[in-house]
């Protein structure tokens, strides 16, 4: 079977037979031709411009102990707000990684100095989530 695969702007023609792959040709990918303009009567109303994301609040790491993401994932829930008093072991954030919900807990008693993340955010390992004073 012959396949055409486009990867990073290059197109590769590959032939695969009984577990062996042979590169037949490699060339620059062509940009797709622009679609024909639809008749004005069939055109949909223009979509409202997407709101620009709000600039992230500056993180003041000197304000206390930073609770960081132990792994990359998606923030499903934030259970604290700035100014909340927390106890050691209290759940601060629920982080979903690899279809598992992970409870991120407070390492000490204190007050939430800053909530750096928000529900729906995608974070990397070591990203600050909450700062506890």
pLDDT tens per residue across span 26-40: 666 655 555 555 555
Q: Give yes or no for residue 2 having a pLDDT over 70.
A: yes
Distance CA 66, CA 133 (A): 9
- The domain ranges of the chain are 2-31, 63-132
Tokens of 130: 């909450």
Q: Give yes or no for residue 88 having a pLDDT over 50.
A: yes
Across the range 122-127, mean pLDDT stands at: 93
**Per-residue pLDDT at 13:** 74
Q: How many CB atoms lie within 10 A of CB 102?
A: 16
* Fold of domain 63-132: OB fold (Dihydrolipoamide Acetyltransferase, E2P) (2.40.50)
Q: Give yes or no for residue 77 having a pLDDT over 90.
A: yes
Distance CA 10, CA 7 (A): 5
Q: Of 19, 23, 29, whose CA–CA distance to 2 is shortest?
A: 23
């Amino acid at each position: 079977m012959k396949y055409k695969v486009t990867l990073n702007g290059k197109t590769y023609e590959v032939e695969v037979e009984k577990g062996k792959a042979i590169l037949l040709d490699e060339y620059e990918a062509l940009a797709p031709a622009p679609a024909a303009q639809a008749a004005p009567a069939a055109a949909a109303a223009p979509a409202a411009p997407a709101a620009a994301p709000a600039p992230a609040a500056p993180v003041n790491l000197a304000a206390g102990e930073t609770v960081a993401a132990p792994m990359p994932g998606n923030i499903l829930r934030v259970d604290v707000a700035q100014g909340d008093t927390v106890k050691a072991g209290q759940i601060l954030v629920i982080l979903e990684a690899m279809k598992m919900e992970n409870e991120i807990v407070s390492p000490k008693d204190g007050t939430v100095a800053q909530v750096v993340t928000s529900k729906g955010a995608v974070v990397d390992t070591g990203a600050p989530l909450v700062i506890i004073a």
